Structure 1
């Protein structure tokens, strides 16, 4: 999954319903908007048609990681939580990337 498919859109009104997909007016193949909430911040993101379940799975994964990181020692602010999650995700990506063949010099 390439998360760059999902792009931020302007913030929703205060009375927005969280996590409810809403079809954007126009063509059927236009992205849908999904309103999410992470660490008390509400964001609206565009989601390609057919990718809603994938984005929901990503949201669930992020919520799980937030819950597991939020109460660890040394992590006090929301920015610290997200920074630790980002660092752990990058570490996992490094582990998944194929290692370059070692040159025998």
Structure 2
């Protein structure tokens, strides 16, 4: 079981405390950066006013992008799992070879 860490993050100048597994901290911080950037972009367009509406528009943008990628048959999580499996296989093969040198 993964250790859970409390992180303080800032989105649109507002502070939030969120919990995440320690090994997923970098991914969470990247998600915070992406969300904050998208919300700033929406606010700066001047078409949407109000933090809640900006958050909803950002969520809709991300959901649309996700569905577009998913519909295209590109599943990033599946590729990451395959790459992790290949890395593990290579590490195991190289470990056996270390005795030869």
Q: Do both proteins adopt the same fold according to a TM-score greater than 0.5, normalized to the shorter chain?
A: yes
Q: Which runs of 5+ in 2 are unaligned?
A: 74-101
2:30 matches 1:39: no
The separation in 2 between residues aligned to 1:49 and 1:36, in whole angstroms, is 15
Larger radius of gyration: 2
Distance in 1 of aligned mates of 2:72 and 2:20: 32
Q: How many Å separate the matches in 2 of 1:80 and 1:73?
A: 12
For 2:10, what is the secondary structure of its paired residue? strand
What's the secondary structure of 1:92's corresponding residue? helix
User: Which structure is higher in helix share?
Assistant: 2
Q: CA deviation at 1:99?
A: 6.1
Distance 2:67 2:59 in 1: 12
Unaligned runs of 5+ in 1: 1-28, 101-105
Indicate the structure whose relative CO is greater, using CA pairs within 8 Å and at least 6 residues apart.
Answer: 1
Report the RMSD for the aligned CA atoms in angstroms: 2.1
Contact 2:5 2:19 in 1 (8 A): yes
TM, length-normalised to structure 1: 0.60
Give the SS at the match of 1:32.
strand
Q: Which residue of 1 aligns with 2:64?
A: 91
Change (3 A) 1:99 1:38: closer
**Which residue pairs with 2:33 in the alignment?**
60
- In 2, the alpha carbon distance for the partners of 1:91 and 1:65 equals 13
